[in-house]
Amino acid sequence: MASTKKVLLAAPRGYCAGVDRAILTVEKALDLYGAPLYVRKEIVHNKYVVESLQDRGVIFVDELDVVPEGSTVIFSAHGVAPSVHAEAAERSLKTIDATCPLVTKVHAEAKRFSNEGLDIILIGHAGHEEVEGTMGEAPNSITLVQNPEEARNLEVANPEKLIWLSQTTLSVDETIQTVNVLKERFPEMASPPSDDICYATQNRQTAVKAMSPLCDVVIVVGSGNSSNSVRLVEVALDAGAKTSYRVDSFRELKSEWLEGASTVGVTSGASVPELLVNEVLHWLAEQGYSDCEEVNTAEETLMFALPPELRRDIKAAAAK
């Protein structure tokens, strides 16, 4: 008799173009400049990636004041405020900016709208590095709103001169809920010319939505400080999964989670290497879930070039 145990594997999953670019930036910089190499904050929010790069001589720092003057420092994929660039210049640090181009787009919008005299409502999570960087572009013009409840209680000075932006890694549905509340309260509020939530975040959430109604359990591979990974658990539950768990690796999986489960869904956040997903699939196969079917809802072909300052140095080194 055929086994009824099966795995549904979401696609797309794992690395997005911005994460791929950021990690490749660090690896190429290591090859070019050697260790130690400094990175401000985690290059991407994934424990395995960070520890692997530390093993190769990368030193992750929270602030620039601990970086020796004249050193090379890379800014993470989440972006930094202009004040961080200024501090780096003051300390004669050589900087490579690995900010995701989609985050850079939000930074540019914040500057432009502020210069146009608009007040900006930024939908995002307090303390997240991306939010801190975006707010730093126009600190006197941006108000952070985290959820629909905060939107209901928000007071603004000029409701006729408002526009909203969002963190790129949010839940699409929750962001829409927050925007709808804001529009009810402030009907004249403008919207950005294009959606700020990144294509990869949306694609991973869409795949999980398609898969989750068929799943007893959905396992999301991703770190706890990865906003898009945490959102995938919420999306899975909202879409009909009976239970959902986030794990950094297969070592955190528990066999009791599978009791009575016939279908297990697996996905991963946008900063998760496929190696970690494969280890989860191997562990599930050992539990009897060897039948694996991919649920594919989109094809991703976008690629980003390396930061120009790194490309320039690689070209110069090759010419010697």
- Cβ contact 268:243 at 8 Å: no
Amino acid at 75: F
Helix, strand, coil share (%) of the chain residues, nearest 5: 45, 20, 35
- Cβ contact 211:218 at 8 Å: yes
The whole-number pLDDT of residue 218 equals 98
The whole-number pLDDT of residue 320 equals 85
Q: In the predicted model, what is the mean pLDDT of residues 207-222?
A: 98
- What is the maximum alpha-carbon separation in the chain? 71
Q: In the predicted model, what is the mean pLDDT of residues 94-117?
A: 98
User: What would the pLDDT profile of 258-297 be if each residue is shown by its tens digit?
Assistant: 999 999 999 999 999 999 999 999 999 999 999 999 999 9
**How many other C-beta atoms are found inside a 10 Å radius of the C-beta of residue 312?**
11
Query: Residue 205 and residue 102: Cα distance in Å, rounded?
Result: 17
Q: For residue 69, how far is the Cα from the chain centroid?
A: 30
Task: List the alpha helices (DSSP H) in the chain.
Answer: 17-33, 47-55, 82-90, 101-115, 129-135, 148-153, 172-185, 199-211, 227-238, 274-286, 308-319
Query: Would you name the residues annotated as active-site residues?
Result: 130
User: What would the pLDDT profile of 157-189 be if each residue is shown by its tens digit?
Assistant: 999 999 999 999 999 999 999 999 999 999 999
Q: Which of 171, 318, 156 is nearest to 238 (CA)?
A: 171
What share of the chain has pLDDT > 70, as a percent?
99
Tokens 């960070």, residue located: 50
Q: Indicate if the pLDDT at residue 213 is higher than 70.
A: yes
Q: Which of 228, 128, 248, 119 is nearest to 174 (CA)?
A: 228
The torsion angles phi and psi of 261, rounded to 5 degrees, stand at -90, 130
Return the structure tokens found at 78: 């989440």
Return the structure tokens found at 270: 């946008």
- Cβ contact 211:10 at 8 Å: yes
Element housing 74 (H / E): strand 72-75
Q: Is the dihedral of CA 232, 233, 238, 240 positive or negative?
A: positive
Query: Residue 25 and residue 17: Cα distance in Å, rounded?
Result: 12
Q: In the predicted model, what is the mean pLDDT of residues 54-74?
A: 97
How many angstroms separate the Cα of 305 from the Cα of each of 18, 52, 215, 257? 10, 23, 38, 41
Q: Which of 98, 106, 103, 107 is nearest to 307 (CA)?
A: 98
Return the structure tokens found at 179: 């925007």
The whole-number pLDDT of residue 3 equals 62
pLDDT category, 1, cuts 50, 70, 90? very low
Q: Which residues contact 64 (CB under 8 A, 6 or more apart)?
A: 40, 73, 84, 87, 88, 91, 93
Buried b (16+ CB within 10 A) or exposed e, 141-162: bbbbbbebebbeebeeeeeebb
pLDDT category, 195, cuts 50, 70, 90? confident
